[in-house]
Chain A
Amino acid sequence: MYTRRLAPEALPPGAPKKGGRGRRSSPLTWRWGDRLALAAAWIAGLGLCLIAASIVLYMGYRGIQYLRPNLLFSRPAPGTQQNQTGGFLDPILGTALLTLIGIALSVPLGIGAALWIAEYGRPTWLARIVESSIEIVAGTPDIVIALFGLAIFQLSLFAPFSFTASGGGVFGRSYIAAGSMMSLIALPPLFTATRDGLLAVPAHMREASYALGKTRIATIRRVLLPTVRSNIATGMTLGVSRIIGDTAIVVLLLGDTLRIEPQGSVAGIGVLRGTGSSLTSYVYDNSPAGEGAAPQKAYAAAFILMVLVLALNLIVEKIGRSRGDAEVPTVAGAIA
């Protein structure tokens, strides 16, 4: 994807092919400072690859060592012995639920904002404010977003979204609270990918659609959205991987109970209002830093997390490849 594309005029016919050894000066004739810099560049590049490989291999080794199928399908339980504390079915379901809520909220927001910025964008000052506010969201630490969520959901206005203590204080921690803050985390990559996709659509496609008598809305629905589908998919995948990997919001906003604890009598809504955990908070709680201190289970859960992240990475890669490298979505913007 980062291959350097040569402009056609840069290579006159008959010129030696790039990468051919013939005309390059050999590093052996360089000055010492240059040789050192060259060596440093190689070491830095290869070193990073080594670090990544060792992280993946180590997590894989630990995961296979400690992961048992029954861990996946049993619920966490209180207990003092390792074999009593159960598995992490609830955290897995919690991660899935959070992802679902977060994506369901951030997709309309992100795509809507990107469409408005790219297709309407008037008045200009408002568009600029919106764009920089998304930049601010992208730069805000997740721990701050978590505290903000707590401040919001502890308002009595939002009491229905979590449970209320006997004294009248709103607890402010639930799947809804955490999920909606997760949507803020997933928003920037989704927005950036969609906007860049829309900006890359050539103007003549819109003009052709207008010439056929379609309205602006119809153009957006029938022409533009299908064209940028793969960008939206990339943005969504990146958003999902950020939601899955986020710990601070879960620790603060999900109430930190290992099991899913529904609140209220209505089955589905009770779970949404209730507290629980996700894979990340399970790892955190079971590491020596948390209360559980069960490193084997932390490793096993982290292995699942790692597999999910790897799978999402592969999906992004695949989407990118199927599109060719014509309009590469900005990896950087997506990471931000």
Chain B
Amino acid sequence: MSLLVTAAVVAMVVFVGIHAWPTFEHNGLSWLGPGGNLETQIETMQAAGVNPPASAYHLNAWPLVYGTLLTTSVAVVCALVISVLSSIFIIELAPASLRRLAVPVIRLLASVPSVIYGLIGILVLVPFVGNHLITSSEKASVQNTVELTGAGLLVTVVILTVMITPIMIALICEALVSVPTSWREGAIALGLNPLRAVLAVTVKAIRPAIVAALVLATARALGEAIMISMVSGSRSFAPRPSDGLVFLFEPLRTLASAIVDYHEGLGAPALSSTLYAWAFVLLFSAFMLSVAGYLIKLPLRRYQVRG
């Protein structure tokens, strides 16, 4: 039984790798770099038919990689702050009645399907941002390159943050509970006020758990496909910070959401191989994340708090 699981993982890496190979073979590592227009490149692939020439594989996936990195990192940083604060609130500050309410709420937020988040995003938040937050002069300022509808970076990051925060809270809360009360009481006895004591002693003690939560949340944010495909505007465009505030409203696309957007093109070998290459990048980064999490946690183990 157990070996079956391992076999499935090995098979996954092998199959995705095999299908992705032609892309890497034709492009090398410049595949990840910027250059060219991604959407025309993909149209070339679709047009190339069943026996694509080598030139059809040409692709520069930078807008997608950039979109993925951007959404993931911003959302994870926001979620980290919010989740540490609200875990402290739930465990240390909230009155017992509120705490009893908060725990099921967190669990509920963690289990809402991503398609529901996407639906709320595309039907409520996107029109709101499009109609009320974006002024027409802002729309005019970038009309030569992209059309601003409201779907874009801001909505994506907000929803992504709401999606990954509960996961982090669950892990952090669990660790907070396992820190001995006497540590904190010792700090209070030394003259710290209760909040300082929590921040200085308890939060420091659960650093391995916070790292674990970060890793898990990053993995989740990297792989989120459906929700982002619904609310991100789905343009292979790399938002430009030089545009000022408009930057927040520019559409983008991530590796995972691009797979969803183009899955109907799986029949064309060049495009299909490209999709598998994106999947391979995701798989590789998920794997690297768990390795990194393990390595970071090692020196922190001496705090003897399970993470």
Contact = CB atoms under 8 A, between A and B. Distances in A.
Contact of A148 (B15, B93, B169, B225): B15
Given A58-B124, A109-B4, A133-B5, A147 B113 contact: no
B154 interface: no
Instruction: Determine the main DSSP class of B at the interface with A.
Output: helix
Nearest to A289: B230
Contact of B115 (A10, A132, A302): A302
B90 A45 contact: yes
A55 B260 CA distance: 25
B85 A45 contact: yes
B201 interface: no
Given A41-B89, A48-B82, A134 B104 contact: no
B91 interface: yes
A104 interface: no
B96 interface: yes
A137 B1 contact: no
A44 to B, nearest CB: 4
Contact of A141 (B85, B177, B282): B282
B61 to A, nearest CB: 15
Interface of A: 1-4, 6-7, 10, 19, 24-25, 27, 30, 34, 37-38, 40-49, 51-53, 55-56, 58-59, 108-109, 112-113, 116-117, 126-127, 129-130, 132-137, 139-145, 147-148, 150-152, 184, 187, 238, 241, 244-248, 251-252, 280, 283-284, 287-289, 295, 298-299, 302, 305-306, 309-310, 312-313, 316-317, 330-332, 335-336
Contacts of B194: 24-25
27 contacts: A2-B176, A4-B91, A30-B193, A30-B195, A45-B89, A45-B98, A48-B166, A109-B5, A112-B1, A130-B6, A139-B287, A140-B286, A141-B219, A144-B16, A151-B19, A238-B111, A245-B114, A248-B225, A280-B115, A283-B115, A287-B123, A288-B122, A289-B229, A298-B123, A313-B111, A332-B170, A335-B110
Given A41-B88, A44-B86, A137-B8, A112 B2 contact: yes
A141 B256 contact: yes
Interface residues of B, number: 95
Contacts of A127: 2
Contacts of B226: 247-248, 251, 280, 284
A322 B11 CA distance: 40
Interface in B202-257: 213, 216, 219, 222-226, 229-230, 234, 256
